[in-house]
Chains A and B, each alone.
Chain A
Amino acid sequence: MIKVYTSTVIDAPADSVWAQVRDFNGLPKWTPFVAESRIEGGLASDRIGCVRNFRLKDGGVIREQLLTLSDYEYQCSYAILESPMGVENYVATLKFTPVTDGNRTFAEWSAEFDCAPEKEKELAQNIGQGVFQAAFDALKTLLRK
């Protein structure tokens, strides 16, 4: 079991951050690497159990299922159903916490998964930095505008 944990501080109130990211179908709006996304079966994107089916700009297709969504705790978690990444039992959690000192937001993104031993380091780096940190950086830029 591999664990990846990425966190940062976003210079915007948690309400604003959450408003930007709570849409499970909204990855194209704020991440730099998703070309298009849809929710399977026409479900609402905040329906627990719904599946987002999105295509990366490099062509790969990923299916992820929403497991939890909390507007109270600014938190959601999801599992990968299908992806070209070679991961198993992948569950990720995205969480935001207000920083009362300065009206900022502490953002955390963590994931646990299994994979072939020789791919562990590369995948941890890709997910932690290439996906989570890159998405956070894009979010910060977006919210600064």
Chain B
Amino acid sequence: MWKYTEVLMDHFVNPRNVGAIENPDGHSEVGSPQCGDAMNLDIEIDENDRIADIRFRTFGCAGAIASASALTEMAKGLPVEEALKIKNSQIADFLGGMPPEKYHCSVMGQQALKSAVADFREKRGQVADTVDSLLSRFANLEIVKVHPRWVAVRGSSDDAEKFGKMLSEKLGRAIDVKRSGE
């Protein structure tokens, strides 16, 4: 047996934030080439670019499962930019330390988060591109914020509704257009 701390064992036996998010804003599937471990991560991002929800599934040892659980606890509620700064040494510290042979386990969680955020940005980029391509038809519509699942605008409710329909059609999924500041 590895020398695992009580905190680590608690996160292994009772992992936090396990599961998946339906229609996640960011999704990733990563694997550790070093030991064959694998992890799926889903994130939900709120209008302030904070991680509102985060869920994981892991194939791996106690160290890998506990690291993933710890990462989700640390990242939850943080602005995306802040969450990306979480270092694997901080994950190890959060767990009260880890055997050196297990440091690579905590790296996988970081990669998963990085990749899920990249997926979030890509999805948002797709929406932004589509918004750009349609915007010329809506002279009185002003874009406030773009999100993978919604777009905030200033303008008439008629325009907003029409814009939402066209966006959803073009992207092949429902995009909610919300009127901002009212």
A-B interaction: no
